[in-house]
Amino acid sequence: MKRLSLLRITDCELRVNEDYAMKTTLVTDIALLRHAIAQARRSGRTIGLVPTMGALHAGHLSLIKAARAETDFVVVSIFVNPTQFGPKEDFNRYPRPLERDLELCGQAGADLVFHPQPEVMYPSDYRTFVEVTGLQDVLCGASRPGHFRGVATVVLKLLNLVQPDRAYFGQKDAQQVRIVQQMVRDLNVPVEIRVCPIVREADGLALSSRNEYLEAEERRQATVLHRALTKAQRRIEAGEHDAAVVRQVMVEQIASVPGAVLDYAAVVDADSLQALDRIDAERPVLLALAVRFGSTRLIDNLLIR
């Protein structure tokens, strides 16, 4: 790891990566975050926000770099959001390599990292949550009840705190992206949502912080997600319009790999996220998968326009 120097200025931590020109400020307090944002606004800078849960990889960095290219002041949030984890999910296990994440943020061009503790975002008397009905209970929402209520709530809080001109999300979390788009539109939040492409390994596996949970054999097995999606895509491109047939292509591909346990394989309308009977060439289609390998649940998708 590159050497970092740490200076304390009032109650704010300023981390300087001495091997790179970029300086990244680490803020854990809402008042200091708002102060930094206000300073950026006063100097006429546009603001980009990249919400993350940390454990950064090249997919996250592509979002930070996109924000760096399109806005003047880039904020990255690193917050493992407890309200989107179910009681039997991996909240305590979720990786939190903060020092490494800060270095990567500096390299990618972030100006400020907001890393609050849970009690900062959810005080003891917290009572308010956001739901996006119709979109939150399908696909991942069917097997993770309450997950997207937590996602929508924390994203809206971050948008309110940072008030960015643009916020950056990855297509890998397609359902999350669609829910955020709907929430922003319905609640008149003045922000542009930018969706960036999935970043994959050479063998097609979509980058995910949870990939590091995989054992070596599970890692090899996990490439079946992308194979299943691309095989279904080719079937559509060959003229197949029956969504059930296309879904079965994915189901059979997943079933061909021992140890892969299918949560869902779906062919849905990309806007409503509702299951399709027939594939219409005039409307975008989302192919989506969730598969477990041991104790690790991975998702992937392919958007067909």
Render pLDDT for 119-150 as a digit per residue (tens, 0 to 9).
999 999 999 999 999 999 999 999 999 999 99
Q: What is the DSSP letter of 167?
A: E
- Assess whether 94 and 8 both reside in one domain: yes
210 neighbors 225 (Cβ within 8 angstroms): no
Check whether residue 18 and residue 152 sit in a common domain: yes
Residue at 204 is within a domain: no
Cα 69 to Cα 259: distance, rounded to the nearest angstrom: 42
Say if CB 120 and CB 29 are below 8 A apart: yes
Q: Give me the long-range contacts of 176-181 (CB less than 8 A, separation at least 24).
A: 176/148, 176/151, 178/135, 178/270, 178/271, 178/273, 179/132, 179/135, 179/136, 179/148, 179/151, 179/152, 180/151, 180/152, 180/155
What pLDDT is recorded for position 21?
Answer: 40
- Among candidate residues 60, 115, 147, 226, the one labeled active-site is 60
Q: Is residue 202 part of a domain?
A: no
**Alpha carbons 233 and 250: distance in angstroms, whole number:** 10
Strands 192-196, 166-170: pairing is: parallel
**What's the CATH number where 254 sits?**
3.30.1300.10
CA distance 60 to 50: 8
Q: Residue 236 belongs to what domain range?
A: 209-304
Per-residue model confidence (pLDDT) at position 281: 84
At residue 22, the pLDDT reads 55
List the structure tokens of 168.
């950056």
Domain assignment of residue 234, yes or no: yes
The last residue of a domain, from among 143, 165, 196: 196
194: which 2 tokens? 């930018």
Tell me, what CATH number does 100's domain have? Answer: 3.40.50.620
**Residue 180 domain flag:** yes
Q: The tokens of 255 are what?
A: 């079933």
Domain termination residue (choose one: 136, 170, 196): 196
Residue 43 has what pLDDT?
97
- Which bin fits 254, alpha (ψ -120 to 50), beta or left (φ > 0)? alpha
> How many helices (H) and strands (E) in the chain?
10, 11
Last residue of a domain, one of 157, 175, 196: 196
In this structure, the answer to whether residues 87 and 122 fall within a common structural domain is: yes
- Same-domain status, 162 and 272: no
**Calpha distance 301→160 (Å, rounded):** 29
What pLDDT score was predicted for residue 127?
A: 98
Angle at 157 between CA 65 and CA 142, to 5 degrees: 90
Asked if residue 232 belongs to a domain, the reply is yes
- Relative to beta strand 12-17, strand 4-9 is antiparallel
Give the pLDDT score at 8.
Answer: 31
Per-residue confidence (pLDDT) for residue 14, from 0 to 100: 37
- Which two structure tokens, joined as six digits, stand for 29? 């307090």
Indicate the residue type of 248. Q
Domain membership of residue 97 (yes or no) is: yes
Query: 174: closest CA among 280, 284, 84?
Result: 284
Q: Do 88 and 37 fall within a single domain? A: yes
The whole-model pTM stands at: 0.92
Domain check: are 133 and 253 in the same one?
no
Residues 176 and 62 in one domain: yes
Residues 185 and 77 in one domain: yes
273 and 143 both lie in a single domain? no
pLDDT of 70:
98
Count: domains in the chain: 2
DSSP state of 83: G
Report the 10 Å Cβ neighbour count for 55. Answer: 20
Query: Which residues of the chain carry a pLDDT beneath 50?
Result: 1-21
What is the pLDDT, as a whole number, of residue 189? 98
**Residue 107: CB partners within 8 Å, gap ≥ 6?**
17, 20, 22, 61
Within-domain flag for 64: yes
Same-domain status, 37 and 84: yes
Residue 133 and residue 36 share a domain: yes
pLDDT of residue 9: 30
Give residues with Cβ within 8 angstroms of 47, minimum separation 6: 37, 40, 41, 71, 72, 73, 74, 75, 162, 163, 164, 165, 166
What DSSP element (H or E) covers 16?
A: strand 12-17
- Tell me, what's the pLDDT at 2? 39
Domain membership of residue 201 (yes or no) is no
183 with 254, same domain: the answer is no
60 in active site: yes
